[in-house]
Amino acid sequence: MAHLSRRQLLAAAGAAAAVSMAGCSDDDGTGGLDDSRAGAMDGFKAGDQFKATEPLTFSIMMLSNQAYPFKENWPFWAELTKRTNVTLRATAVPGSDYNQKRSVVVSAGQAPMIIPKTYHPDEEAFIAGGAIVPVSDYVELMPHYQDKVRRWNLQGNLESYYQQDGKYYLLPGLHENVWQDYSLAMRTDVLTKLGLAVPATWDELTTTLRELRKAYPDRYPFSDRWSTPPSPGANNLLGILSDSYGTKAGWAWNPAYWDAAAGKFVFSGAMDQYRQIVQYLATLVSEKLLDPESFTQTDDSAKQKFANGKSFVISCNAQTLVSECRKDIAKIPGATVAKIPLPTGPMGATLPGESRLENGLMISKKARESKNFVAMMQFIDWLWYSDDGLLFSKWGIAGDTYTGDVDDGTFKLSPQVKWGGLNPGAPKELQVDYGYFNGVFAYGGSTAMLNSQFSDEEKQFQAVMNKRTPRPVGPPHPLSPDEREQVTLWEAALEDHVNQQTLRFILGQRPLSEWDAYVGELKTKGMDKYLDLANKAYQRFKDKK
């Protein structure tokens, strides 16, 4: 009986995709599912609404964001139970310190069954101790998930999550397309006044900044934010610059960069492309176009400068554009601000492909041992990966909180409900009063789904972004636990040195002519040993395939 339903699932999802994702371990663990089927649906396939055959309860770790704190009486819960026959028992954790509590609770072996809001590679720490389940073994139970992976071509991205045993341990949120949210905000009224066009490339940005400085010689036209330690500083700026130049820095930092042409991993901080972005920023700072404090000041300081008209360019995303930049300059007569399309660099009109996988779920060992395990996986599949489930957790109930459909652009939020910039005068808030669009459940989805939340302004920005091609993702280099322990120390030492020297080069404390000496220093700190290990691990992974 068990084998029959498994075959049905395989057929529905597409045999090829299913086999490649379950890895080589077709029989591991999945064979023992006979005792775990209580409450599960037979023949559950893509397009089905999940409904447990008996009322079930699953424990979940619930991040409570204080902007819309966790409420037990949210309509979301009641409707969820009505549709799926599942009640979620939540452990409320303040969003301020979610990671720490999660770490303690999982390490102590006392985690709830479902642990959401986990960003890769945070799950790697818990693998060796056996606290979490290799989810890749069980994706055959999840037809909606498999369907999306296949349709949106995410197999390559998923591979980057593989561990040494060829399995992965995190169920990520899936995006149909790369979603670029962060960019730069500029004072468009000042640009218009000076007859300047919005810069399209980084070099054009330099020219624009020079003009701004000429017109206002007493201030830095660009003063940046998002400098929380421990990354070097002005992390968004470094991040988007590195994306445009083909390396990794700031928020995008990853010590190992996959050099497809050479077929091996190189060290990001030593690449020539990295030197180029350092040089770019050093030029900006030396010409007094970029405020040197950008790299160490608090966000409040940076925002203040923008608010007082002392600077004209600042990093932003869609939300901060509306809620901060625009509000900050409200008292300056005639001031307008817009998020400019991401400036391009040597990599042209492309975007890094990694962000198609989003934060996701870990499944604890306790869940695997439960007799309702299969039902739970199906439930997760429906809620997080089916179109119906995503729509429900994001926007709520058709006819109640919204009308229309996201796929054909007729979607409209009910006038009684407000969210973000939509329906600002409405009496109820989607997240606070209903529990929809909660960061724990509503992540990922099709581009149409994403667009339904954008204001017109943001839709324009996204239209430009969507024309850029996503770049392929590099392969993984999975390490054994012993190797990982060793590598942690090396990575820390290397990253520290990179961060420190990056700032010193940019701020002019160290001349760029010393770049080669800097690379030499990285070598003495173990850069070559590190790369050796990474490349060997990659080879090992490749051979195993």
Partner 1 sequence: MTPTRGYRVFQAANGVVLTLVVVVTLFPFVNILARSFSGEHAIRSGQVTLWPRGFNLTTPHRVMSDSLFWTNYRNTVVYTVVATAISIVLTTCYAYVLSKKHLKGRGLLVGIAVLTMFFNGGLIPNYVLVSSLGLRNTLWAIVLPNAISVFNLLVMKAFFESLPPELEEAAAVDGLGTYGTLWRIVLPLSKAVIATMLLFYAVSFWNSWFAGFLYMDRQELFPVTVYLRNLIAGATTGSDYSTASDTALQIAASIQAVTIVLTMLPVLLVYPFVQRFFVSGVLLGAVKG
Partner 2 sequence: MRTWRRAVRRDWQLYSLAVLPLLFFVVFRYLPMLGNVIAFRRYQPGGDLFGEYWVGLRYFRMFLTDPTFWQVFGNTVIIGALTLLFCFPLPVVLALLLNEVRRRWLKGFVQTVSYLPHFLSIVVVAGLVLQTVSVDGVINQGLTAVGHDAVAFIQDPGWFRTIYVSSEIWQTVGWGTILYLAALTTIDDDLYQQAKVDGANRWRQTWHVTLPGIRPTMVTLLILNIGTFLAVGFEKVLLLYNPLTYPTADVISTYLYRVGVVSGSFSYAAAIGLFESVIGLTLVLSANWLSRRTVGSSLW
Least distance in Å: CB of 408 to partner 2? Answer: 44
Question: What is the nearest approach in angstroms of partner 1 to the Cβ of residue 66?
Answer: 3
**Would you say 124 or 405 has its CB closer to partner 2?**
124
Residues that bind partner 2 (CB under 8 A): 99-100, 103, 106-109, 122, 124-126, 128-132, 227, 229-230, 232-233, 292-293, 295-298, 300-301, 365, 481, 485, 488-489, 492-493, 495-496, 499-500, 502-504, 507, 509
Based on CB atoms, which residue is closest to partner 1, 300 or 516? 300
Going by C-alpha positions, the residue among 243, 224, 246, 247 that lies closest to residue 235 is 224
Give yes or no for a contact between 494 and 525, defined as CB atoms under 8 angstroms apart: yes
Whose Cβ is closer to partner 2: residue 503's or residue 537's? 503
DSSP code of 364? B
10 Å CB burial of residue 17 (0-12, 13-18, 19+) is middle
Sorted by sequence, the CB contacts under 8 Å of residue 190 that are 6+ apart come out as: 212, 312
Of residues 349 and 489, the one with the C-beta less far from partner 2: 489
CA 35 to chain centre: 36
Question: What is the closest distance, in whole angstroms, from the C-beta atom of residue 431 to partner 1 in the complex?
Answer: 6
Q: From partner 2, partner 1, none, which one binds at residue 455 (CB under 5 to 8 Å depending on kind)?
A: none
Measured distance CA(271)–CA(268) in Å, rounded: 5
- 240 torsion bin: left (phi>0), alpha (psi -120 to 50), beta (else): alpha
Q: Is 490 exposed, middle or buried (0-12, 13-18, 19+ CB in 10 A)?
A: middle
**Three-class DSSP category at 174:** strand
- Least distance between partner 1 and beta carbon 281 (Å): 24
Tell me whether the omega of the peptide bond preceding residue 172 falls within 30 degrees of 0, making it cis.
no
User: Least separation, in Å, of the C-beta of 19 and partner 1?
Assistant: 36
Pairing of strands 412-413, 264-267: unpaired
Provide, rounded to whole angstroms, the least separation between the CB of residue 222 and partner 2. Answer: 15
The interface partner of residue 500, options being partner 2, partner 1, none and the CB cut-off 5 to 8 Å by kind, is partner 2
Partner that binds at residue 118, options partner 2, partner 1, none, CB closer than 5 to 8 Å by kind: none
> How far is Cα 288 from Cα 208, in angstroms, rounded to an integer?
13
- How far out from the chain centre does Cα 470 lie? 15
Could you tell which of partner 2, partner 1, none binds residue 11, using a CB distance below 5 to 8 A set by kind? none
In the bound complex, what is the minimum distance in angstroms from residue 438's beta carbon to partner 1?
A: 8
When the beta carbons of 65 and 87 are compared against partner 1, the nearer one is 65
Minimum gap (Å) between residue 126 Cβ and partner 2: 5
| Contact yes or no for 426/416 (Cβ under 8 A) | yes
Dihedral sign from CA coordinates of 505, 506, 509, 513: positive
**Smallest distance, partner 2 to C-beta of residue 113, A:** 14
CA distance 50 to 232: 46
Task: Calculate the CA 141 to chain-centre distance.
Answer: 25
Give whichever of 292 and 341 is closer to partner 2, judged by the CB atom.
292
Cβ distance to partner 2 smaller for residue 32 or 129: 129
- For residue 386, which of 83, 115, 122, 102 has the smallest C-alpha distance? 83
Task: Report what 131 binds from partner 2, partner 1, none; CB cut-off 5-8 Å by kind.
Answer: partner 2
Closest approach, Cβ 441 to partner 2, in A, equals 24
Binder of residue 13, out of partner 1, partner 2, none (CB less than 5 to 8 A by kind): none
d(CA 158, CA 473): 9
Question: Of these partners, partner 2, partner 1, none, which one is at the site of residue 429 (CB under 5 to 8 Å by kind)?
Answer: partner 1
Q: At its nearest, how many Å lie between partner 1 and the CB of residue 463? A: 19
What's the rounded Cα separation, in Å, for the pair 239 and 317? 13
Integer CA distances (angstroms), 86 to 39, 49, 79, 308, in order: 10, 13, 10, 52
295 touches 504 (CB < 8 A)? no
Per partner kind, with CB cut-offs from 5 to 8 A, the member of partner 1, partner 2, none near residue 32 is none
Binding partner of residue 122 among partner 2, partner 1, none, CB under 5 to 8 Å per kind?
partner 2
Binding partner of 130, given partner 2, partner 1, none, CB within 5-8 angstroms per partner class? partner 2
Between 323 and 469, CB nearer to partner 1: 323
Torsion angle of C-alpha atoms 95, 180, 156, 361, degrees rounded to 10: 10
| Residue 485 near which of partner 2, partner 1, none (CB within 5-8 Å, type-dependent) | partner 2
DSSP-derived letter for residue 221 is: S
Backbone angles phi, psi at 247, to 5 degrees: -150, -165
Binding site for partner 1 (CB under 8 A): 64-70, 91-97, 101, 104-105, 107-110, 299-300, 303-304, 307-308, 317, 319-320, 322-324, 327-328, 330-331, 418-421, 424, 429, 431-432, 437, 439, 453
Q: What, of partner 2, partner 1, none, does residue 474 touch, CB below 5 to 8 Å by kind?
A: none
Cross-strand partners of 294: none
> Which one, 296 or 350, has the nearer CB to partner 1?
296
Rounded CA-CA distance 111/374 in Å is 19
Choice between 523 and 542, CB closer to partner 2 = 523
CB of residue 5 vs partner 1: minimum separation in angstroms?
Answer: 36
